[in-house]
Amino acid sequence: MAFAIFYFKDKTVEVGKISWMTTNDQQQCPKVITQCPDLEEEDGWMEIKWDIKGRKKSDSPAFFPAKVLMVGDNYSDLCRKRQEFIMGENIWQEATKRKCKLNSKWEDVEEEDHEVPPKKVGQKSVCAEKESANQMVEEPKKQLANKISSELTNSNEESSDEEQLPRNWSAAQKKVEELQRELKGDHGKQILHAMRELPAVVATLKEIIDKITVQISTPASTWSSPTSSVDGPVSAPTSPQVLSDTDDMVPLTPGCDVKVPRLKLNYLRTASSALYIGDLAVLIYGKDTLSNSSLTGKQSGTHKDVESKQPLDNTKLDAILAHAQAKFPDTTMQDVRRIIRQKCNNISYVKKVNEMKS
């Protein structure tokens, strides 16, 4: 045996040569050590001459007390055993199996040598430190795993069953989808509104057909006498029933003094509230009035040098507002005023362009 593992009194563990021991200690040292010596007892310490540089000083003794933990010929193996001892492992425990074959050719008996593990002395502190370190590492792992599982559970509960958007979609794409859904909803409302108006349209067509039929079947003597003029063309006979029918004028709202032709009211465009309110303003005020008027009759700061326009009749304006809110419940007074203001500006601009062309 050329090398040994030495345990010094200052709890230093080193691998060194057998020659570090005295001759008497070399003769008394067992060649095979099967268990850890009692490191707490005062007996069994050997005088070891440690020749490592920096260990020996001028005033230090030549020999240091130590105990032999293990002997062997393989230096690398003893270094590995030294590291295992420092980590708190039992380097002497080896389970050996021995197989004995009896004279009988029918039976094989295995004998196992059960060795009682030696008591670990002086290693309790090392094992306790190792266990505490393992607990400190395992606890953050468990907390992290629990946090991840809870986040996954919450995300699964919040996801909708009807529509699950991919995670890589941007906020802009989600906004586009919301706008598309709103457009679809508005389109459906317009379709329902048009279907509700179908009976009125059918009734109007029937009335027109009935009036044309009555006009054709009426004798010529009941028509108004045609007026002739030398300079102008001869006017065609007109049915007095169509011109004198006062039942065609209906109020915009019940009890309102503002009345409009029922047929023209039913023919207004209803694709959107803006189109309907604009056409209704033209029907009530007329294009000439709208082109020369404004809501308040005042000019803005940028048009102070321009002559002020006449304000629109507030009675008719209130009637348009009440009728628009009854037909389009979501419409506000600001919306109606804005639509009429735009209508006045558009008609005025078209009129100016036509005057410049002419």
Query: Of 197-201, 216-220, 224-228, 262-266, which one has max mean pLDDT?
Result: 262-266
Please state which of the ranges 114-123, 188-197, 335-344 shows the lowest mean pLDDT. Answer: 114-123
Q: State residue 185's pLDDT score.
A: 62
- pLDDT(296) > 70: yes
- Backbone φ, ψ for residue 63 (5° rounding): -120, 150
Residue 90's pLDDT band, with cuts at 50, 70 and 90, is confident
Burial class (CB in 10 A: 0-12, 13-18, 19+), 324: buried
Cα gap 201→111, rounded to integer Å:
108
Q: State residue 229's pLDDT score.
A: 41
Q: State residue 5's pLDDT score.
A: 85
State how far Cα 12 lies from the chain centre: 60
- Secondary structure letter of residue 305 according to DSSP: T
Average pLDDT, the chain: 73
- pLDDT(212) > 50: yes
Cβ contact 258:252 at 8 Å: yes
Q: State residue 294's pLDDT score.
A: 85
Q: Which amino acid, residue 235?
A: S
**Residue linked to tokens 């996954």:** 152
- pLDDT(119) > 60: no
- 279: number of CA atoms within 13 Å, CB side? 13
Q: State residue 13's pLDDT score.
A: 86
Q: State residue 151's pLDDT score.
A: 72
Question: Residue 68: CB partners within 8 Å, gap ≥ 6?
Answer: 4, 5, 6, 7, 21, 29, 33, 37, 46
Mind listing the pLDDT tens digit for each residue in 140-168? 778 788 878 777 766 655 554 444 555 55
- Secondary structure letter of residue 293 according to DSSP: E
Q: Which helix H or strand E contains 275, and what residues bound it?
A: helix 273-285
Paired strand residues for 101: 108
Q: Is 103 helix (H, G, I), strand (E, B) or coil?
A: coil
Among 327, 345, 333, 201, CA closest to 272: 327
Q: Using a pLDDT cut of 90, give the percent of the chain over it.
A: 2
Q: State residue 141's pLDDT score.
A: 73
**Residue linked to tokens 């958007």:** 165
- pLDDT(72) > 80: yes
Residue 104's pLDDT band, with cuts at 50, 70 and 90, is very low
Show contacts of 285-291: CB within 8 Å, 24+ apart: 285/312, 285/313, 285/316, 287/347, 290/343, 290/344, 290/347, 290/348, 291/344, 291/347, 291/348, 291/350, 291/351
Q: State residue 9's pLDDT score.
A: 80
Please state which of the ranges 48-52, 91-95, 222-226, 306-310 shows the lowest mean pLDDT. Answer: 222-226
Higher pLDDT, 59 or 134: 134
Please state which of the ranges 8-12, 52-56, 193-197, 274-278 shows the lowest mean pLDDT. Answer: 52-56
- 147: number of CA atoms within 13 Å, CB side? 6
Helices H / strands E in the chain, number of each: 10, 10
Cα gap 278→320, rounded to integer Å:
10
Cβ contact 45:67 at 8 Å: yes
Residue 339's pLDDT band, with cuts at 50, 70 and 90, is very high
pTM for the model stands at: 0.33
Question: Residue 287: CB partners within 8 Å, gap ≥ 6?
Answer: 347
Among 112, 108, 86, CA closest to 98: 112
Among 309, 335, 308, CA closest to 320: 335
Q: State residue 354's pLDDT score.
A: 87
